[in-house]
């Protein structure tokens, strides 16, 4: 009797199927793990149409999702739903970044605003003297 291999068939959800916010963020590759996505939602780092959301929020195409990370802030429009994490090219089909978000990210990259307080690793905290110089330079006396 020949052996048959049974593999679990993973497919994208049908139009009727629902998709939780934390699963969608993970599937769209904004976060490495679903638990990191859930923690970001709980911490208020993810907003849907300007309002705070919960992990179990039902996602629908057309929603605007704003995601704040330590490195970036991005606003996207949901185009499709998925509960399955796939490769980056397929994940990019789940959303479209807004023009305003692209412009702001480009502007931050050009001005170096995203690297404002960056320090070389291992240097530790600034000394008292360095803090006074920083405060004087930034105008926060």
Q: What is the pLDDT of residues 14-36, one digit of tens each?
A: 444 679 999 999 999 999 999 99
User: pTM, whole model, 2 decimals?
Assistant: 0.67
Domain parsing of the chain, residue ranges = 21-138
109-129: per-residue pLDDT in tens?
777 655 556 667 657 888 888
38-61 mean pLDDT? 92
pLDDT band at 1 (very low <50, low <70, confident <90, very high): low
| Alpha-carbon gap, residue 80 to 28, rounded angstroms | 10
Query: Are the C-beta atoms of residues 91 and 78 closer than 8 Å to each other?
Result: no
What token pair was written down for 88?
């980056």
Any idea which fold 21-138 has? 3.10.290
Higher pLDDT, 132 or 72: 132
| Alpha-carbon gap, residue 36 to 101, rounded angstroms | 22
């Amino acid at each position: 009797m020949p052996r048959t291999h049974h593999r679990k068939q993973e497919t994208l959800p049908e139009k009727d199927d629902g998709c939780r916010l934390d699963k969608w963020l993970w599937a769209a590759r904004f976060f490495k793990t679903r638990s990191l996505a859930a923690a970001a939602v709980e911490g208020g780092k993810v907003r849907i149409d300007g309002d705070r959301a919960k992990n179990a929020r039902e996602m629908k195409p057309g929603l605007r999702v704003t995601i704040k990370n330590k490195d970036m802030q991005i606003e996207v429009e949901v185009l499709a739903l998925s509960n399955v994490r796939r490769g980056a090219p397929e994940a990019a089909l789940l959303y479209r970044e807004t023009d305003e978000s692209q412009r702001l990210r480009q502007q931050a990259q050009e001005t170096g605003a995203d690297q404002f307080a960056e320090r070389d690793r291992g240097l530790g905290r600034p000394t008292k003297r360095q803090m006074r110089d920083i405060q004087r330079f930034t105008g926060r006396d």
